[in-house]
Amino acid sequence: MQLKPVSLTTADSDFEDRLTELTAWESVSDLSRQTRVAEIIQAIRHDGDDALVRLTRELDHYPVAHASDLVLDAQALEAAFNGLSDELKRALTTARDRVWAFHEAQKESSWRLPDQGDGIVLGQEVRPMSRVGLYVPGGKATYPSSVLMNAIPAKVAGVPLVQMVVPAPGGDINPVVLAAAHLAKVDRVVTIGGAQAIAALAYGTESVLPVDKIVGPGNAWVATAKRQVFGKVGIDMIAGPSEILVYVEPPMDPDWVAMDLFSQAEHDEDAQPILVYCDPAFAEQVLDSMTRLLPTLERADIIEQSINRRCLFIEAKDRDDAIDVINRVAPEHLELCVDDPEAMLPEIR
C-alpha cells in the first residue's frame, strides 16, 4: 500500500487558496440526490410502513416481511449486551459513565431574574423535548460511540422517549451498537436507515413514532434528508465527513500519531486527516509509521483511500503559525501532541 498525502507549507504564496480548495466539502448539493430524497420522503408520508418495508428491501437488501419486524424490544438490547465479552462490557460501561458525567455537568437549568418591582418577570424555563430521534450509521462501519454521545445527552436532559434508527444491511446489525443502546437507556430501536429513516422519524409511520428533533451523523443521503425535513422537526446539524487535525511537536511516538490520523480516516473514504508540524523529518517518520501500520488494520482499504484522497501534511513555520492553521481549519477533532497542550488552549478558537 502506497500512501500519498498532499504536502503543503504555510510559506507558499498560494497556501491559503490551496488550503481552502483541499478542505472544501459540500456533499448535499447533488441535484439528483435531492430529487430522489424528496421522492423517498413523499413515499413515507403517503404510504407509511408499506413504503418503509419496500425501501428497506430495496436499499438495505433486508428481506423484511412486516414493519413490525424492524422494531427491536428492550430484551433484544439487553441480550446483545449480555452476549459481549467482559472486556467490551467494561469498555462500553466506562465510556457510558464518562459521557453521562460530562453532560450532567453541562446540563442547563431554569432561572429567573430578581423581581424589579414593575410586575415583569424575566427568566428562562428549561424543559426536555418529548421525543428525540437518534440516527446511528450502520453501513461500512458501526459506531457504538455515536449511540452513547447522542442518546445520553437526551436522557440527561430528561427526554422521556429516545427512538434510535440504525440500518441493518442484509439484516445484519452489530451487537455492540445494540449493547450501547441498552446502556444509554434508548427506549425504542428500529432497524432502518438512509433517507427513509429520517423521513419516518420526521413524519411518523404506523411503526415509527414521529419525533421533535433528529440527531446523529450519516452519509450524504442522510444529510440531504435532514436538510429537507428541517422545519418539520429540529435537527442537530448537517454533518460532513469526519475530520481530524493533529498538531505534533517531537519528541513523540510517530506510531501514536499515525494511529490517531487513522482513527478518523477509517470512517469512510471522504474523511480528512490533517497533520500539522514544524519538523519535516518527524513528519517523514509519521508517514513511515502510517505505511507500516496500515496493512495490519481491518479497514485498511478505506483508510488508504481516505489518505490518498484527502489527507494533508502541512508544514508550519512555528507554533504560532500552526495555531493559525488550526483556527483556519477549525477541525471536528483536534489533537495537540505537545508537552504543554494547556499552554496552547487559550489561542485555540
Please pick, among 78, 249, 269, 332, the residue that the annotation labels catalytic.
Answer: 332
Annotation marks residue 61 as catalytic: no
User: Which residue type, as a one-letter code, is found at position 153?
Assistant: P
Q: How far is CA 22 from CA 223, 243, 329, in A?
A: 21, 12, 11
The dihedral region occupied by 265, where left means phi > 0, alpha psi between -120 and 50, and beta the remainder, is: alpha
User: Which residue type, as a one-letter code, is found at position 338?
Assistant: V
Query: Environment class of residue 305 by beta-carbon count within 10 Å: exposed (0-12), middle (13-18) or buried (19+)?
Result: middle
Annotation marks residue 333 as catalytic: yes
Nearest to 154 by CA among 119, 121, 127: 127
> What is the residue-wise DSSP string for 261-303?
HHHHHTT-TT-EEEEEES-HHHHHHHHHHHHHHGGGSTTHHHH
| Residue 192 and residue 167 in contact, taking contact as beta carbons nearer than 8 Å | yes
The DSSP code for 113 is: P
Please pick, among 298, 333, 342, 347, the residue that the annotation labels catalytic.
Answer: 333
| Residue located via cell numbers 504560532 | 320
| Residue 71 and residue 188 in contact, taking contact as beta carbons nearer than 8 Å | yes
Where is 325: in which H helix or E strand? helix 319-329
Between β-strands 111-112 and 71-72, what pairing exists: parallel, antiparallel or unpaired?
A: unpaired
Nearest to 197 by CA among 311, 318, 70, 95: 70
Q: How far is CA 14 from CA 5, 10, 59, 318, 323, in A?
A: 18, 9, 43, 19, 19
Q: Active-site residue numbers?
A: 332-333
